[in-house]
Structure formats: C-alpha cells, structure tokens
Amino acid sequence: MKKLLTRTLLCSAMATGVFLLAQGTADAVMVGLCNKCHAMHNSQDGTHMTVGTTQAQNYLLRVAGCVACHTGDAGDGAVSAQWSAPIVLHTTDPAYDETGNTGITLAGGNFYWVATSGDAEDNKGHNVVGVASPDATLSEPPGNTVGTNFSGNLIECESCHIGGAHHYNAGSTYSTDTDGWADGSSRGASYRFLSGGGASYIQGGENGDWEFTYASDDHNAYYGDATPATGSSDTFQAHCNLCHGDFHGTYVPATDLGAGSASPWRRHPTDFQLSAATGTEYAAYVTYEVQSPVGTNTTGAGSLSFSAVAAGDDIVVCTSCHRAHGSPYADMLRWSYGLMDAGTGGTDGCFVCHTTK
C-alpha cells in the first residue's frame, strides 16, 4: 500500500507501517499508537521523549512544529525515514528537473530553495516560520487584499493548512484506498486540509503518494471553476485567493486589480477552460501533463487521475504554473521561465498549453 498519509504539512509524527490515515471518499482520521506522536509525561526509561527540542509543545507533541516531521533526506523517497510523513523540506538538494518533471519532490514542491538550511532565496518559496527567514523584499503577499497572515514577513503552516485536522472524524465509514476525493464538505473532508475561507473548504482528488510517482493517469485532481471570477469557495484558486486576491477576479482599470474574465487579460487567467479560449493552440492539450497540470470541474472518485483532457477537465489553475511550497525557480514556477523560448519548437512548461508558440 503506497498511501500512508493523505494530508501534507501538518504537525503529527508517524511511524512507518504504524500510523495510517484511514480514508474514504469524504473524511480522514488517524489511527495507530498515540505514543508515536505524543508524550504524556515526556519521560521514558529516564530520558526525554521529545525530539529536537526541550520546549513545551502544543498537543504534547514529541517534535517542534509541523516541519520537524515533514523534513527528510533526498534519498528517503516520498516520506521521511524517521517519521514516515510526506517530505516538504529536504536536507539536501532534491535535484529538481528543470522541466518540472521530477520524482524527488512531491506535488507541492519543496521548501529547500527558500529554507535557511538550503539555498535561502526568498522568491523560490513561501517564507514559513521555522523554515525560512523573513522575506527581505515583500512586506505582504503579492496581490494581497487581506493584509493578514504575514506577520514579520513570515507565514505559518496553518496559514494554508487547517490546524488540528489530523484527528478530524466526521463519522464516515473509512477504508484504506490509495487515492480518494475530498469533497470539501467539512474540515476533515478538505483537500490536503486547505481552507477556502471562513467555513468553506477546498475539494479535490488526492493522489496516494503525493505524486512522488506520477503519470498522465496517476496524479492529483485540482478542482477548478469552469468560468473565472465567479467566487467559488471550494476551488484551488479560492484558497490562493485568500492572500493573492488582487491577481484574480474581474479587472478594475481604476485600481489595476484583478485579471479579467475574457481576452484581453490583464493577468494570466485561472479557473478558465482552455477549450473556451480564442484560437486553436490550446486544443492540442488532450492528455494530462503533470509538469503543467490542468484542473477539473468534475467531482467525485470518477475524476481521479483522469488522463484524457476534455472540456471541463481543461481548467487553468494556480498550480498549472506554480508549486505551492517552493521550487528552484523564481516565483515558485514549476519550470524554468528562462528556458521558455518562443519559436524554437519547445514542448515543456508554457508550451504544454501554448502549443503553437
């Protein structure tokens, strides 16, 4: 079974083969030995049970913060050797492929290139507490409309991921499927525990090994709206919108905010179908491409890991171009923008969609 966890970037520590998230199509709950994550008295055989810290931790956790469990060596595979949690921060260079096709990092990318323990370059990842230094250039998220969750030029893991959701149980019947659809009906049923704001949660299809292995029919399913600027609260764009809202929605010339709802665009559209675009260059995107993925407006288990791309399954989403955690490229792009050279017959990156350029 390749799926040990269904959620990323949260604080619980797990032991290989011991801790599982029992998963159905709606909710997830952790099962296993409590002492793998928690220390009741922080004492066993006369020694401390906590790892890497002597300070008190929330929930009596044995580690300090989320990233402690989600850090590993590039040779560990999808999960850390010590905790069996999906790796979002490598201790050594993950050797990311310049086209964005890589079996080393997971779907969200990696914090290595922004981390103080790695390359420490601010524009290559989200500056997260406990991972990176405060951003030296930005005092708020680009396109920010909210002005929150950026205290001291840093964000928290829980700025994006819903805290305390590892043990969330809405009472569903559980199985141990390798892949599943999170329908966003509750915090425990949210895609990767992501919020859409308020009481809204993101839905989507979760790949069993977080795309450590991947193919055109083996990947996440990012839920998107078929039309832009409609204000859906359960799409991947809705989540990114919470901080980067000025880059999305109806364009307002007076303030130069928003992206627009049709060509000519002020900013690159999201939640927009390639099949609805003017011209024929996008029609060639007929098979799902992991290096430049598209979202789907189809929900449920039937939309998991679709390979054939048709209307409704050809939606541009934020992750079509960006990695959520980080990448070795500026602006957290999935591939090197410097290699995107029009007229040279390129087929990677931008040219996966813009096929005639």
| Calpha distance 134→120 (Å, rounded) | 10
Burial class (CB in 10 A: 0-12, 13-18, 19+), 263: exposed
Radius of gyration of the chain (CA): 20
Give pLDDT tens digits for 302-349. Answer: 777 789 998 888 999 999 999 999 999 999 999 989 889 999 988 999
| Calpha distance 310→308 (Å, rounded) | 6
Position 152 scores a pLDDT of 75
The tokens for 347 are 């087929």
As a whole number, the mean pLDDT across the chain is 79
Q: How far is CA 291 from CA 103, 166, 344, in A?
A: 11, 29, 19
Q: Which helix (H) or strand (E) holds 66?
A: helix 66-69
Residue showing tokens 């449920």: 300
- DSSP secondary structure letter of residue 279: S
Q: Which helix (H) or strand (E) holds 315?
A: strand 315-316
Cβ pair 233, 223 in contact under 8 A: no
Position 305 scores a pLDDT of 79
Share of the chain above pLDDT 70, in %: 81
Cβ pair 246, 240 in contact under 8 A: no
Neighbours of 254 (CB within 10 A): 5
The alpha helices in 72-147, defined as continuous H runs, are none
Give pLDDT tens digits for 113-137. Answer: 999 999 999 999 999 998 999 999 8
With vertex at residue 162, the alpha carbon angle to CA 61 and CA 72, rounded to the nearest 5 degrees, is 55
Strands (E), 154-294: 180-182, 195-197, 200-201, 204-206, 221-222, 272-273
- 3-state class (DSSP) for residue 159: helix
Give pLDDT tens digits for 190-230. Answer: 899 898 887 789 999 999 889 998 999 999 999 988 775 55
DSSP string, 13-65: ---TTT-EEEE-SS-EEEES-GGGTB-SSS-BTTB---BS--S--GGGBSBSS
pLDDT at residue 68 is higher than 90: no
| Calpha distance 246→145 (Å, rounded) | 6
Q: How far is CA 303 from the centre of its chain?
A: 18
Least confident piece of the model among 116-130, 225-239, 269-283:
225-239
| Calpha distance 217→215 (Å, rounded) | 5
